[in-house]
Amino acid sequence: MANHKSALKRVRSDEAKALRNKYQHKTTRNAIRDLRAMTDKKKAEKELPRVSSMLDKLAKRNIIHAKKAANLKSGLALHIASL
């Protein structure tokens, strides 16, 4: 365990950031799951920009890789197009 004051503060701030990142990532995964489960094309098309925005924010903050976000958005768009 760290002994310096700055290192102890860093441990506390890292835990807070990890908790926030985990919440945002889980919320986005749930939104993706709900979007994939939709059968109404109109509702799904309305929901896609919100989910895409969530993925872009995760990628911007390096919670997920930018290419993973792009692949997920592409897959969701294909799914909605096939409805």
Does residue 61 lie in a domain region?
yes
Our count of domains for the chain comes to 1
Please give the single-letter amino acid code of residue 29.
R
**Share above pLDDT 90 across residues of the chain, in percent, rounded to a whole number:** 95
Q: Does 1 have pLDDT greater than 70?
A: no
Identify the CA nearest to 75 among candidates 41, 32, 30, 31: 32
Domain that holds residue 83: 46-83
Q: What is the pTM of this model?
A: 0.87
Does residue 2 lie in a domain region?
no
Q: Does 78 have pLDDT greater than 70?
A: yes
From residue 24, alpha-carbon distances to 7, 11, 57, 83 in Å are: 26, 20, 9, 28
- The predicted pLDDT at position 3 comes to 80
Give 4-49 pLDDT, tens digit per residue. 999 999 999 999 999 999 999 999 999 999 999 999 999 999 999 9
Return the exposure string of 40-51: e unless at least 16 CB atoms fall within 10 Å of the residue's CB, then b. Answer: eeeebeebbeeb
